[in-house]
Structure 1
C-alpha cells in the first residue's frame, strides 16, 4: 500500500479513535456529546467568505450543517493522515513508531486553536470558554487518541 492510501487509512482510523475517546468521555458523564453542527455552520459561512464570528451559534444556519461538520472533521483527519504519511516517508511507514506520529498529532491542534476556535467566536485556543485550560487539556488528550489511531493503522498496514 502506498503512502497516499496508507495516509487515508491513518486519517480515518485516527479520527475514529478521537471519536471513540469522545464517546467514552460522554458515556462516563465527563463531557457533552460531540456536536459537529457548529463547525459545519462555520464551514458553510467560510465558503461564503466569512472566517471569524463573535458567536457561531448566532450566525445564520447553513443547510446540512451537521453533515458538513462531520465531513470537515473526517476530511481534516484524512488530510492530516496523508500529510504525515507523505512527510514520514517509506522508512517510517515500514516500521511505524509512536513518538513521531504523536508529536504530529499534537501539533495539529494548532488549526483548532488558532483558526476554528477563534473563527467560531471561542477566542484563541478557546480563551472565551468557561474553563479554557480544561478545554485545551482535553483537546490535547483527544489529539493523543488521534495519533494513537493513526499509529495503529500504520502498524496494521506495515
Structure 2
C-alpha cells in the first residue's frame, strides 16, 4: 500500500489513541488544559484572520467550534503526517524504514513541539503553556499524548508495509 495512504491512516489512528490517552491522563490529573472546543475556536479564528488570543478562554465562543475542532484535529493528525512522515523516512534512511514503530514513536514525540510552540502560545498561554489554566501541565501532557499518536502512525505503516 502507498506510504502516504498508510501515513494518513496511521495519523487518524494515532489521533484516536492520543484522545484516549488525554482522557485517561486527565482523570489522573495530567492535562494541558486544551479541549476540542478551544481548538475549534482557534481554527475558526484562523479562518477569519486571527492567529492569537490574549486568552482563548475569554474569546467569544463560535458556532460550530466543537465540530471544527474535531475536524481540525483529525485532518492535522492524518493529513499532516501523510505529508511529513514519508519525507522524514526518506531523510532518515533505512534505519527508520526498518523500524516503523520506533520511528513513529520518535515522530510522535517530536510533534509535542507543535502545541508547545504554536498552539499554546496562540491560545495566549505562552511557550509550553506556562500561563495555561490552573493545574494544567502541558509540558508533561503533550509528550504523554503524542507518543501514542506516533505509535499509531508507526504501527499502521509497519502493518501495511508487511503486505
TM-score bin, normalised by smaller chain: 0.7 to 0.9
> What is the match of residue 146 of structure 1?
149
> What is the match of residue 53 of structure 1?
53
SS of 1:128's partner is coil
Can you list the C-alpha shifts for 1:84-131, whole angstroms capped at 9, x where unaligned? Answer: 034314967874433322222122122211111111111111021335
TM-score, length basis structure 2: 0.83
Partners of 1:137 and 1:4 in 2: CA distance: 30
In the TM superposition, what are the counterparts of 1:120-131 in structure 2 within 5 Å? 120-129=123-132, 130=134
SS of 2:131's partner is coil
- Structure 2: where are the runs of 5+ without partners? none
Number of aligned residue pairs: 156
Partners of 1:48 and 1:9 in 2: CA distance: 30
Q: CA RMSD in A?
A: 2.4
* 2:132 matches 1:100: no
Change (3 A) 1:59 1:34: closer
- Structure 1: where are the runs of 5+ without partners? none
Partners of 1:15 and 1:120 in 2: CA distance: 20
Partners of 2:97 and 2:138 in 1: CA distance: 35
> What is the match of residue 17 of structure 2?
17
**More moved, 10-19 vs 77-86:** 77-86
